[in-house]
Chains A and B, each alone.
Chain A
Amino acid sequence: MESSPGPLPAAELTERLRARFGQDLLESSDALDQAVVRIAPDRYLDLIRTLRDDGDFACDFLDFVSAVDRGDDGFDVVVQLWSTTRRHQVRVMVAAGKDEPRLPSIADLYPGANWHERETWELFGIDFEGHPQLVKLLLPEQFEGFPLRKDFALTTRLAKPWPGEETTGEGPE
C-alpha cells in the first residue's frame, strides 16, 4: 500500500486553512488535538470543498452534521470531517442565523450528509437549501415543532415539572 503523509497537527491544519481563508476563518481552537474552526457562512461551501478536495486536508469522510441552539446567538451547524488517508479530523462550526436559520446543503459533496441534514432540519428547524429530499426522517409525520430547540415545550414537563435539580447549566458562556 502506498504510504500517505501522516496527520496534520491541529495548529498546522488551522494555519493552512488560515492561509487560504484569511479573515473568513472567524475563530479557531483545538480540542484534544483536533482542529475546530468557525467559518463565515458565505464561505461555508468553499471551506467544505477545500477540506474535501485539497490534498493537504483530504477529508474524504463525513462523520456527522448536527447543530447547537445558542439561544440569542442563533443556531450553529457543526460538521465533523475525517480523513481516512491522513487520519486527522476537523470540526467546522458555522452560524445559520436565528429566526429563520438556513445554510446551503452539502449533500452533493458528501452523500452521507443527506440523512444528517434531514435529521438536523427536523430536530432544529434549520433549512438546508438545495437538499434533494428535506422530509422527516425520525419523527412521526404528524409531529409539529422542532424538539431540540431550547424553546420547545415538553408537554410532560408542563404537567409534571422536573423533580430534581436542573443539570443543564445556564447555557453558553
Chain B
Amino acid sequence: MGLIERTPLASIQPVKFLLNWGRKYSLWVMNFGLACCAIELIATSTSKHDFIRLGVIPVAHGPRQADLLVVAGTVTDKMAPALKRVYDQIPDPKYTISFGSCSNCGGPYWDSYSVTKGVDQIIPVDVYVPGCPPRPEALLHGIIKLQEKIAHEDIREKWSGKLTGAPARS
C-alpha cells in the first residue's frame, strides 16, 4: 500500500523483474506447525535439507515479520480462528504453503468431527504440498513452485492485498 502500488514504475519490466527476484529469495517463514508434518518442516530448515539456500529464512519471531506462512499439520475447527488471526497479522505481500494432507483436505481425518477439511476454507493458499507427511524434498519443491509464481506475478496487484491468486501444485 503506497509508493509501489501508485507508481507505474513497478510495471516496467526490468523493475518488476528485479523486485520479484528480490522478494522470491527473501521469504521469512512463519512456522504454523501443528502435528507430525511440523517435524518435516523443521527437518527442511536444518542443515541436511537447508531451505535457507533457497532464501527461506527460519523462523520469524512473529507473524508481523513474516512473508510466508507454512501450515504444517492438522488444523482443527478450534484452532482455525487462531490460524486466521495469524494470517491476518502478516503484512502484504504474503504467501501460504499448505503442507501435508491434513492441511490440504483433512487427510486421514477426512471424516473427523473436529478437523478442518482443508485450510483453504479459511485462508488463501498458494501452493499445496501433498503427502502424509511429505518429505522435506517435497517442501523444497513447493518453495521452488512458489518462487516461480512470485517471479511472474504483478506486484501492484499483489501489494494491493486483493489478489489471492490461482493455486499452484507442487
Interface residues of A (CB under 8 A from B): 138-140, 143, 147, 152, 154, 156-157, 160, 162
Contact = CB atoms under 8 A, between A and B. Distances in A.
Interface of B: 77-78, 106, 110-114, 117
Contacts, number: 21
A156 B117 contact: yes
A162 B111 CA distance: 9
A140 B77 contact: yes
B111 A157 contact: yes
A147 B78 CA distance: 14
Nearest to B113: A147
A160 B112 CA distance: 12
Nearest to B79: A140
Nearest to B115: A156
13 contacts: A138-B114, A139-B78, A139-B114, A140-B77, A140-B78, A147-B114, A152-B113, A154-B111, A154-B112, A154-B113, A156-B117, A157-B111, A160-B111
Interface of B: prevailing SS: loop
A23 B78 CA distance: 45
Contacts of B114: 138-139, 147
B111 to A, nearest CB: 4
Q: Top 4 A-B pairs ranked by shortest CB distance? A: A147-B113, A156-B111, A140-B78, A140-B77
A93 B163 CA distance: 57
B110 A156 contact: yes
B106 to A, nearest CB: 8
Nearest to B110: A156
Contacts of B113: 147, 152, 154
B118 to A, nearest CB: 12
A152 B78 CA distance: 19
A125 B111 CA distance: 21
Contacts of A154: 111-113
Contact of A138 (B78, B106, B112): B78
A67 to B, nearest CB: 16
Contacts of B117: 156
